[in-house]
């Protein structure tokens, strides 16, 4: 594979780090105080209540609605962990799969919002490419520790 400026593995590392920065920005821009007080989950509950798919409505009712505070912390700190893990390249395949799943959940929940679909679709695509290209082989803690070879 020919590439300009960097080799293929380095470009995949750039993609991985960029995805990590995207997750970190998702974490950074959230108003944590209001999220932990329930604003984010309340917004998601409103979206889920109007969802066209019964599985999304009932899944939200069973999993998220009974524990809004816990789920707010899960969402916020999952985004932080994904961002830091991908930037550092630590447990990268696990972070990529977890991020892909989170993006797919967001994508399904926000099926009516094209802006959200675009962001989550692109992040999911980058996760798939980074997984397929083993983006942890360069510039990563995983590589330094000899993990996932």
Find the range with the poorest average confidence among 40-44, 45-49, 107-111, 122-126: 107-111
Are the C-beta atoms of residues 20 and 85 closer than 8 Å to each other? Answer: yes
Handedness of CA 33, 90, 25, 109 (dihedral sign): negative
Q: How far is CA 64 from CA 58, 73, 88, 99, 116, in A?
A: 10, 12, 30, 18, 20
Q: Residues 124-143: what's their mean pLDDT?
A: 97
pTM for the model stands at: 0.92
**Residue range 73-104, pLDDT digits in tens:** 999 999 999 999 999 999 999 999 999 999 99
**Residue range 29-63, pLDDT digits in tens:** 999 999 999 898 998 898 899 888 999 999 999 99
Domain ranges of the chain: 32-138
């Amino acid at each position: 594979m020919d590439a300009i400026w960097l080799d293929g593995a380095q470009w995949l590392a750039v993609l991985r780090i960029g995805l990590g920065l995207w997750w970190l920005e998702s974490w950074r821009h959230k108003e944590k105080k209001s999220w932990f007080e329930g604003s984010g989950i309340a917004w998601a509950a409103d979206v889920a209540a109007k969802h066209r798919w019964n599985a999304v409505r009932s899944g939200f009712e069973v999993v998220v609605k009974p524990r809004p505070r816990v789920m707010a912390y899960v969402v916020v700190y999952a985004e932080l962990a994904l961002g830091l893990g991908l930037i550092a390249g630590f447990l990268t395949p696990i972070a990529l799969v977890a991020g892909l799943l989170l993006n797919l959940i967001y994508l399904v929940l926000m099926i009516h919002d094209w802006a959200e679909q675009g962001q989550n679709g692109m992040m999911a695509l980058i996760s798939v490419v980074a997984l397929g290209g083993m983006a942890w082989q360069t510039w990563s803690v995983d590589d330094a520790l000899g993990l996932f070879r």
